[in-house]
Amino acid sequence: MPRKNPTTPYIVSVVQDLSECAEVQVDATSSSEAEEIVSELLRHGKLDKLDYARGDDQGNPYTYCAWEKDDDRTVDCVITNDEITFAQKPTRNILGPLTACPLCGAELNASIRLTLYTITLDEQGHISAYEGGPQPETTSDMIELCQTDNTSIICTNNHHISGPPT
């Protein structure tokens, strides 16, 4: 049943085996309510499809913490008004052309993993300088960087379409 109070997206960390974690986005009025919603769904087995690797110390998953969502981070599951949407598992054989998300019709975005060499970090831990790395000069150079094993395709609603998880 939809809530009457305004909600905010929260990220809830779900831990399995003390070492593996999945992140769930849930609309709630507070971080404690977000954790309660996810805990209840875990107890009833509704989040069994969460995609996180299992370690040797098998145990039941539990919520670890929650915080207000403040970026476009990709999550393993989205819960809105009691509806659960699991992220699509990565696939490598997407037949094209594809110009919109096959799940919701939203625009597609690509995230490219880059390696920069000889970096400098500032006081906040952000990269402030680097000496080397890819420097594409043309569209074809950029597309060449977008190899399947180096590029994640995600729609604007955070559905993972292909490539490695972000």
User: What confidence tens digit (pLDDT) does each residue in 85-120 have?
Assistant: 777 655 444 556 788 887 788 888 888 777 778 888
Q: Which helix (H) or strand (E) holds 142?
A: helix 139-145
Q: Does residue 58 have a pLDDT over 60?
A: no
CA geometry: angle 58, 84, 1, nearest 5 deg: 125
**Residues ≥6 apart with Cβ < 8 Å to 166:** 74, 111, 152, 154, 160
User: What confidence tens digit (pLDDT) does each residue in 118-153 have?
Assistant: 888 888 888 888 888 777 788 887 777 777 767 888
Q: What is the pLDDT of residue 92?
A: 42
CA geometry: angle 25, 96, 107, nearest 5 deg: 40
